[in-house]
Amino acid sequence: MGLLNSGLDICASGLTAQRLRMDVIANNLANATTTRTQNGGPYRRQIVVFEARSQTSDFKRLLENELTGLSGVRVKQIVTDNSPLRQVYDPSHPDADPNGYVSYPNVNVVAEMTDMISATRSYEANITALNSIKHMAMKAIEIGR
């Protein structure tokens, strides 16, 4: 039953991580044309960084994870992309600099949509794995009857 529970736990961690990734991507898309934020400058793209989840205080779970190699994933941090901002010539824009250029966010809509598709597919893969584990558990119960 331990591997079954760890499988469910791994799927749950993947679902949680991919959901946050989709939320961050949606935020990037929503701010793709925001030229002024509360901090004063244009919006900067955010990126989610994942890492293997292995930090646990329960010795038994830590040992099981090391023996099976199963631990799941967690969000390490959300970082700001410091790539250059897009410069667009629009002297009539209120945020234009003295040369008439407006700094727009470094959000590439095509790249964000590609990342959103990737996150959605990863989310779906975790749901499929979760359903497979559930199906195996039901079959095991049927065998035990």
Nearest Cα residue to 54 out of 67, 37, 36, 38: 67
Dihedral, 103, 109, 112, 113 alpha carbons, nearest 10: 170
The C-alpha angle 58, 61, 67, rounded to 5 degrees, equals 140
What does the pLDDT read at residue 87? 94
pLDDT in tens, the chain (145 residues): 566 677 888 899 999 999 999 999 999 999 999 999 988 889 999 999 998 876 556 677 666 666 666 678 889 999 999 999 999 999 999 999 999 999 999 999 999 999 999 999 999 999 999 999 999 888 888 887 7
Backbone angles phi, psi at 103, to 5 degrees: -90, 115
- Using DSSP's 3-state secondary structure scheme, residue 138 falls into helix
